[in-house]
């Protein structure tokens, strides 16, 4: 949650930079920083999903567990593109 709040603050800062007609490279650096934080936040969410939801699904049965594994594979495919 804290990472996403940081992202929100940085995006607000980027908007202000655009409104103030700041140097494009400086704006781009801030955008790259936000992208890095979003990746980190997404990995934390996936980590928690695996540790909690996927484990719980396997305790319900192999089919439920396999469905959760398929979801993770889908996310990783999108993440790695």
- The pLDDT tens digits for 26-44 are 999 999 999 999 999 999 9
Domain that holds residue 33: 2-79
> Could you give the percent of the chain with pLDDT greater than 70?
100
Query: Global pTM?
Result: 0.80
Amino acid 1: pLDDT: 84
DSSP designation for 80? T
CATH number (domain holding residue 51): 1.20.58.1000
The Cα–Cα gap between 5 and 28 comes to 20
- Which parts of the chain sit beneath pLDDT 70? none
Domain count, the chain: 1
């Amino acid at each position: 949650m804290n990472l996403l709040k940081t992202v929100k603050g940085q995006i607000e800062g980027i908007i202000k930079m655009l409104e103030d007609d700041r140097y494009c490279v400086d704006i781009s650096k801030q955008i790259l920083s936000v992208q890095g934080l979003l990746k980190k936040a997404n990995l934390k969410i996936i980590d928690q999903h695996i540790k909690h939801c996927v484990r719980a699904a396997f305790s319900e049965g192999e089919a439920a567990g396999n469905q959760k594994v398929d979801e993770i594979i889908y996310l990783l495919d999108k993440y790695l593109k």
